[in-house]
Amino acid sequence: MRYLPLTDADRREMLARIGAKSMDDLFADVPEAARLKSLVDLPRHKGELEVERIMGAMAARNMTASSVPFFVGAGAYKHHVPSSVDHIIQRSEFLTSYTPYQPEIAQGTLQYLFEFQTQVALLTGMEVANASLYDGSTGTAEAVLMASRITRRNRAVLSGTLHPHYAAVVETVCAAAGMEIVTLPARPLSREDFATLVDDKTACVVVQNPDVFGSVRDLSPIADIVHGKGALMIAAFTEVVSLGAVTPPGHMGADIVVGEGQSIGVGLNFGGPYVGLFAAKQQYLRQMPGRLCGETVDADGRRGYVLTLSTREQHIRREKATSNICTNSGLMSLAFTIHMSLLGERGFTRLAALNHEAACALASRLEKVPGVELVTPHFFNEFTLRLPRPAHEVVHALAGKGVLGGVPGARLWPGEKAVENLLVVAATEVNTETDRVKYEAALTEVLS
């Protein structure tokens, strides 16, 4: 076959070379329950028109984010992205080679990456930022590995209020690197005792602000404790718009800041592709993953842009690489840069204010519903409610009434009884007063 050129003999030779008995051995790390026992239950073949009809019918069963009042967040947020963003990313100045190895023909790409880095550094309150990573979760894992290289320690403590999907990625990636990962229990408003949790073997503590429950807090006391033990503090975020209202992590003592930039310029996209934001103190520059663009001048003194630092395995000896991530989220970082440029500082802070106002208005309505308790009093645009019965049941009932009401605790932490009745709700600038009234009415009816 054109796309499967290897013979059975070729495969046997390759397996023998790496010490595997069969192809199944290559999937030993995949849990048995996650493996298919047979082919997917789909027709073996259909005509193009038939496939379109089948897929269209399947898609029609979904309740889309734009069709009903939408209050889902927990790491992916519905914001308005101006149509001008999509128009500008298609301009020819940006249609250069995918990887800007030749700066003389990739100035459009290099300049926007430089501007992107500047924006991220300003937003996070840090000194340097890279040219992006895949998303916030993989970026968090890279931050933990980076902290281990800097401190030469092999243990990381993850706050229980870190998004559980981020924690899972850290555990998967860093366990493969031989690190010890300690993940604390998930509890809203928990004040973890990092003074006793951090020891002389701890490379870093990872905290999130606003956290997965929506709570906003001052990270400075945690930074003082962590630094006192010779470890680093990694501050994560899932909602970049919060940085227009909340004190940047860099101003609260963070050594590395990592998060998700999806809210600016990037749609929900069924969960990806997104864009990971990564920034750090300048003293740790050479331990950053990915790559970094810099500004220079050419032989005639004209301003130009180049790849200044590429500490990845494609560019240097594999054993010297800081990461095996082989790209940045180029198109998504371009969309982010354009949207941020259109907003400007004043527009960005206004957007943050609109988000906070929308969340406050929604929380004020929902906490009046009988049986509903607002768990997180200090929040940005996301908060947690405690309901009188399991939240996943309520979410399904709300969907039946045309409201997508949030993310139940059981969805984030399956099997955890302590969070079963918790519902994480997000509100952004796209929500109207009509949406909020409909949510309140639907929730009142569902819980009555």
Q: Residues 230-276: pLDDT tens digits?
A: 999 999 999 999 999 999 999 999 999 999 999 999 999 989 999 99
Spatial CA neighbour of 220 closest among 363, 7, 209: 209
Last residue of a domain, one of 288, 319, 340: 340
- In a shared domain, residues 309 and 435: no
**Per-residue tokens: 126:** 């840090």
Q: How far is CA 127 from the centre of its chain?
A: 21
The answer to whether residue 22 sits within a structural domain is no
Last residue of a domain, one of 340, 363, 392: 340
- In a shared domain, residues 367 and 402: yes
The answer to whether residue 434 sits within a structural domain is yes
pLDDT at 44: 81
Q: Is the pLDDT of residue 303 over 60?
A: yes
pLDDT at 322: 77
The answer to whether residue 362 sits within a structural domain is yes
The answer to whether residue 379 sits within a structural domain is yes
Cβ partners under 8 Å of residue 109, min gap 6: 94, 96, 97, 100, 330
pLDDT at 440: 98
* Chain segment 377-413, per-residue pLDDT in tens: 999 999 999 999 999 999 999 999 999 999 999 999 9
- In a shared domain, residues 385 and 291: no
The answer to whether residue 121 sits within a structural domain is yes
- In a shared domain, residues 281 and 357: no
- In a shared domain, residues 191 and 222: yes
- In a shared domain, residues 434 and 294: no
- In a shared domain, residues 252 and 281: yes
Calculate ∠ Cα 20-23-26, nearest 5°: 65
Radius of gyration of the chain (CA): 24
* Chain segment 111-142, per-residue pLDDT in tens: 999 999 999 999 999 999 999 999 999 999 99
Question: Whole domain around residue 239: which residue ranges?
Answer: 83-340
pLDDT at 318: 67
- How confident is the model over 318-325, as a mean pLDDT? 73
Spatial CA neighbour of 423 closest among 399, 393, 402: 393
**How buried is residue 252: exposed, middle or buried, by Cβ count under 10 Å (0-12/13-18/19+)?**
buried
Q: Is 44 helix (H, G, I), strand (E, B) or coil?
A: coil
Last residue of a domain, one of 340, 370, 387: 340
- In a shared domain, residues 146 and 283: yes
- In a shared domain, residues 303 and 328: yes
**Distances in Å between the alpha carbon of 428 and those of 89, 268, 407?**
24, 13, 15
The answer to whether residue 74 sits within a structural domain is no
pLDDT at 96: 64
The answer to whether residue 177 sits within a structural domain is yes
Q: What is the mean pLDDT of the chain?
A: 93
Indicate the number of domains in the chain.
Answer: 2
Lowest mean pLDDT among 4-8, 174-178, 185-189, 302-306: 4-8
pLDDT at 321: 75
Output the domain CATH number for residue 247. Answer: 3.40.640.10
pTM: 0.91
pLDDT at 277: 97
* Chain segment 209-228, per-residue pLDDT in tens: 999 999 999 999 999 999 99
The answer to whether residue 119 sits within a structural domain is yes
pLDDT top residue among 446 and 32? 446
Output the domain CATH number for residue 368. Answer: 3.90.1150.10
